[in-house]
Amino acid sequence: MRFSRAAVRTAVLAALAGISLHPLAMAAAFQNGSFESPGLPPSSQQNIGTPAAAPTGWVAGGTLGNFALFYQSNIWIAPHSGLASIGFGGNGTAGATIGQTFDTTPGVPYTVSFYTAAQQLGSGPQSYLAQALNGSTVLGSSAAAIPVSTTWTLRTFDFVAASTSTQLLFSDTSNGPAASSLNWALDSVSVTAVPEPASFGLLGLGLLSLALYRRRDRLP
C-alpha cells in the first residue's frame, strides 16, 4: 500500500493532536513540587506554624509549631533540586503534614515521585507516609523508614484518579521524642499522568507510515 505525503502528514499530526488534546493535558499542572516559591534567603529556615504559612500551592496541617514543619533554603542539607526543601521533625516534634489538591482525570493512572533524606545526623527512628486521597479514600500510598543518611532517596507510588481532583498528603510518622537529635527533608515532588497506550500506538503508526513513504522515495 502506498501513502501520499499529505496522508502521512495528516496521520502524524492526528497522532500528536490525540496526545496533546487528551484530557490529561488539560488538567492543571501540579504546583511548586520543588518548593521554590516564594523562596527564602540562602542558608535560612522558617517555621511553618500555620496552614497558610506553607510554600505556594501547599497547605500545612497536623502538629505544627516548634519547627515540626519548616521551610528551608540550603541549610542543614543541600536541596535535591533548586534552592529550597521542606523539613519535618525539628526539635523532636513529629506529626506535621503538608499537602495540596490538584486536578486529575477520573480513571487515569498517575505516578507520584519524591525524594527524602535525613538531616542533622543522629540516632532514632524516622518515617514518612505519602498518600493520594479522594476524600478519605486512599488511592495509593508509600510509607517507609528514612535511613540516617544525607543522601537523597527516590520514592515513588502509583494511583488511579477517582474524581476530577486528588489530594497528595505527606505526613511525618516518626517517633519524635526518640528522634529528637535529627529530622528529615522532602524535595522534588512530581505527579505525572500516564498517557494512554492507544495514543502511542497511533503516533507509532504515523511514524511507521512516514518511514515507509521515505524508503519508497529512495528506491530506484
Q: Per-residue pLDDT tens for 35-53? A: 999 999 999 999 999 999 9
Co-location of 162 and 216 in the same domain: no
Q: Tell me: pLDDT of 175 over 90.
A: no
Are 175 and 124 contacting, i.e. CB atoms less than 8 angstroms apart? yes
pLDDT at 216: 53
Q: Tell me: pLDDT of 134 over 70.
A: yes
Name residue 40's amino acid. L
Q: How far apart are CA 98 and CA 55, in angstroms?
A: 10
For 66-83, the pLDDT digits (tens) are 999 999 998 889 999 999
Q: Which of 86, 43, 81, 113 is nearest to 184 (CA)?
A: 86
pLDDT at 178: 72
Arithmetic mean of pLDDT, 126-133: 97
Q: Which of 116, 52, 51, 56 is nearest to 89 (CA)?
A: 116
Q: How far apart are CA 35 and CA 20, in angstroms?
A: 27
Q: How many domains in the chain?
A: 2
Q: How far apart are CA 183 and CA 189, in angstroms?
A: 18
Co-location of 123 and 184 in the same domain: yes
Give the rounded percent of residues in the chain with a pLDDT score beyond 90: 63
pLDDT at 86: 98
Q: Which residues contact 180 (CB under 8 A, 6 or more apart)?
A: 91, 92, 124
pTM for the structure as a whole: 0.78
Confidence band of 28 (pLDDT split at 50, 70, 90): low
Phi, psi of 112 (to 5 degrees): -105, 130
Strand partners, 116: 153, 186
Co-location of 7 and 48 in the same domain: no
Name residue 187's amino acid. D
Q: Tell me: pLDDT of 5 over 60.
A: no
**What cell numbers appear for 136 in the block?**
478519605
For 149-172, the pLDDT digits (tens) are 899 999 999 999 999 999 999 999
Are 193 and 103 contacting, i.e. CB atoms less than 8 angstroms apart? no
Arithmetic mean of pLDDT, 12-39: 62
Give the rounded percent of residues in the chain with a pLDDT score beyond 70: 75
Co-location of 148 and 203 in the same domain: no
Confidence band of 177 (pLDDT split at 50, 70, 90): confident
Specify the DSSP element, H or E, that contains 215.
helix 197-218
Co-location of 161 and 92 in the same domain: yes
Co-location of 46 and 139 in the same domain: yes
Co-location of 201 and 102 in the same domain: no
Co-location of 96 and 188 in the same domain: yes
Co-location of 94 and 180 in the same domain: yes
pLDDT at 1: 47
Co-location of 111 and 8 in the same domain: no
Name residue 111's amino acid. T
pLDDT at 76: 86
**Coil, strand or helix: which one is 116?**
strand
Co-location of 74 and 182 in the same domain: yes
Co-location of 8 and 72 in the same domain: no
Strand-pair category, 127-134 with 137-145: antiparallel
CATH code assigned at 129 = 2.60.120.260
Q: Give the domain extent around 204.
A: 1-22+196-220
pLDDT at 217: 52
